[in-house]
Structure 1
Amino acid sequence: MSTQLSAFDLVPVTSGSSASTAVSNSLDFAVQVEQFGYERLWYGEHHLNPGVIGYSPALMIALAGGVTKTIRLGAGAVLAGHRTALSVAEEFGLLEAAFPGRIDMGLGRAGLRSPGNQQDAQTVAAESDSFSNIAESHRTEHGVVIPASPDLSSLFNSPRFRIQRQLLNQPGAQPGTYDEFIADLLDLLINRKVVDGYELAGTVPVQVNPEVWVLGSSAGESSQIAGARGLRFGANYHVAPAKVLEAVADYRRAFKPNAQLAEPYVIVSAEVLVADTEEQAQRLAAGYDLWVHSIRTGQGAIYYPTPDEAAATPLSEAHWPIVADRVSTRFVGAAEQVVAQLESLRQATDADELLISTITHDHAARVRSFELLAQAWYASQDNPKERMLASTTPQNSRMTNV
């Protein structure tokens, strides 16, 4: 059976563009990746980032659902610590009612309390779940780069990071644990939630429940909860590559089958940029280090620069350590090169799917990257996906060059 590709969209705002154009481009992107044969399209939840306006996965899913027909749509991920289980269950239940059989509910634990720990939950989650120290970069037997962990203290101690916690959490709110949140969520979805002895029947009346995914960046609470509850797991190679192997292994060790899922199921993310030639791809890749640096220093994602802007303001060597892990694990090149690298990642992690993230300044180039990758990837599989891969822009495309 072939390994499917899925797509991830940040709803990026590029230099010289606008928020309106970013949304328009993302809706065109949804139409395009459906045509290219991608299995699912996920949206993240990011706040206080000028160059990324994917604030609300549910809103983006609703917008994308209106312009697509078959592709699964989901969150990668809803930040559980800023929400209640009821609000998430109701939102995604409504989306499932609008787009039956197409909704994925991906969950991240940021903002929740670790079991037995009363410390600031957002800081604990960010520091402990994503970037445990790995001192040296190395390669797996499949040739996959496992980089050293960066020092992200500048991010966790930044004013923007503290302000985000302040603005996203209600004053005096006491977060629960991740396992409590997921237990409440699952109870609500199957209409068996009991509060103060009262059974809430029909709370979220959906015919088919959304697929529930747990996303994690390292071995620990997220991977273990996903496994113990028999849920699907997303491992984050494109943002936290240092711990991806441990995260996947921990999930599989903890996995317990249930009526919904008989075996572990893993999707692994990767940052990718494909062009017609390696030279073109490398030019389009310019600016990624500057963009990552703006995020990891707490500045907030900048508007993604043009190649010329990136060349005019190169990142200094002193700032390289904070971005090295992400730049060194980005797959950039012609389609055949990137397919070989992704196949190595698939083998190293035994992934059931790969979640592809691509960011560059030009929208048309981003769309072209996904098209070239899909064509080459499915052609390389034992059982290529039986979908027509568009070789030209579909007639209903709303592509905008920026």
Structure 2
Amino acid sequence: MTVLSILDLSPIAQGSEAAQSFRYSLDLAQHAERWGYRRFWLAEHHGMPGIASAATAVLIAHVAGGTSSIRVGAGGIMLPNHSPLVIAEQFGTLESLFPGRIDLGLGRAPGSDQRTARALRRSLTSDADEFPQDVAELIDYFSAEPRGAVRAVPGTGLQVPVWILGSSLFGAQLAAAMGLPYAFASHFAPQQMMQAIELYRATFRPSAQLSRPYVMLGFNVFAADTDEQAHYLASSAQQAFINLRSGRPAKIPPPVANFMQQIGPSERHLLEQILSCSAIGSPTTVAAQIADFIAHTGADELMIASNIFEHAARLHSYEIAAQVISSVPV
């Protein structure tokens, strides 16, 4: 059976604030633990009115402290924003607090616009082109006998699992060359998904961390008791994507009935591209759509995103996904 995990941005809905989002993230993780999800990942984004997970390591500690068995991690940390040593110390601390439960996914995008990236780093001398070297440096900090003179305390010898995240062929090549598990952002950037998967699997080199290729794919699920209700709930995420791509990022809006019929052809085409890796519908509909996606991609693991306005409806969507996965052929 394909493994299910959760990607959470600690979304901030209209009429709400970050403090409430943090409570909802912990509640979702506690439910996910009972429903059998393997991981609960939080993503680094900055300057986004609808996303509260900017201080990702802090929020991981909040979620891990309120759960007992589910793996908690970053999906991901945008490494060009940080010194590899700082991330090694942060995740060494998390691993020391919650041994055997921490994951570290790494991306090379800033997770923000250029002005915010400059504010984060104070300069733009840290370049995404340095990402492979930064990843290697970070992994070395976690090794039992680091090659460099500097030690991460805590961090040294803790062997925190490192993942490469990506939405292009670059991440696939790097993950394969370094023998690391690969997570593709198909839940919002699916265009190169199959090329990236094939490249990663074809060129994978075994490492001390991983003996064979392992692919996790982002996948949106908007599940409800009926198809009509699910499409209604999905309209919040659809509105949010249009706002973001139009340069108007905002808090998560409430759902709108028949939203797809109210927008123009260009916006509809945009959503069909961005959200092509999605399941929207009743339990029966969602089960069939998930099965088709797994059969097409051979994914080892799906990281489910359900960006739904109301918390109770969001919980129900994740619960349905967990229930139907048992009926999906391996």
Q: Does the alignment reach a TM-score above 0.5?
A: yes
Unaligned 5+ runs, structure 2: none
The Cα shift of 1:258 comes to: 2.0
SS at match of 1:73: strand
In the TM superposition, 1:15-54 aligns within 5 A as 15-54=14-53
Residues 369 and 174 of structure 1: is their aligned pair in 2 closer, same or farther, counting only changes over 3 Å? closer
Tell me the equivalent position of 1:106.
105
- One-letter amino acid matched to 1:163: R
Looking at structure 2, the residues matched to 23 and 56 of structure 1 have their Cα atoms a distance apart, in angstroms, of 11
Q: Out of 174-183 and 356-365, give the one that drifted further.
A: 174-183
Looking at structure 1, the residues matched to 209 and 179 of structure 2 have their Cα atoms a distance apart, in angstroms, of 8
Q: Out of 332-341 and 318-327, give the one that drifted further.
A: 318-327
The Cα shift of 1:315 comes to: 3.7
Q: Report the structure number with the largest CA radius of gyration.
A: 1
Tell me the equivalent position of 2:176.
227
Tell me the equivalent position of 2:286.
338
Residues 29 and 181 of structure 1: is their aligned pair in 2 closer, same or farther, counting only changes over 3 Å? same
2:163 equivalent to 1:164: no
TM-score normalised to structure 1 length? 0.76
Contact 1:38 1:71 in 2 (8 A): yes
2:163 equivalent to 1:213: yes
Higher helix share: 2
Tell me the equivalent position of 2:241.
292
Q: 1:259 aligns with which of 185, 199, 208?
A: 208
The Cα shift of 1:164 comes to: 1.9
The Cα shift of 1:288 comes to: 2.5
Looking at structure 1, the residues matched to 172 and 102 of structure 2 have their Cα atoms a distance apart, in angstroms, of 21
In the TM superposition, 1:114-263 aligns within 5 A as 161-171=113-123, 173-175=125-127, 177-195=130-148, 199-200=149-150, 203-205=153-155, 208-219=158-169, 221-263=170-212
More relative contact order in 1 or in 2 (CA 8 Å, sep 6+)?
1
Residues 97 and 329 of structure 1: is their aligned pair in 2 closer, same or farther, counting only changes over 3 Å? same
Contact 1:237 1:268 in 2 (8 A): yes
- One-letter amino acid matched to 2:133: E
SS at match of 2:191: helix
- One-letter amino acid matched to 1:266: V
Tell me the equivalent position of 1:352.
300
Residues 276 and 174 of structure 1: is their aligned pair in 2 closer, same or farther, counting only changes over 3 Å? closer
Tell me the equivalent position of 1:130.
none
CA deviation profile, 1:16-38 (whole Å, cap 9, x unmatched): 22222111111111111111110
Percent sequence identity over aligned pairs: 34
TM-score normalised to structure 2 length? 0.92
CA deviation profile, 1:24-83 (whole Å, cap 9, x unmatched): 111111111111110101011111110111112211110001110000011111001111
Q: CA RMSD in A?
A: 2.3
SS at match of 2:132: helix
Looking at structure 1, the residues matched to 188 and 65 of structure 2 have their Cα atoms a distance apart, in angstroms, of 29
Unaligned 5+ runs, structure 1: 112-121, 123-159, 383-402
The Cα shift of 1:225 comes to: 1.1
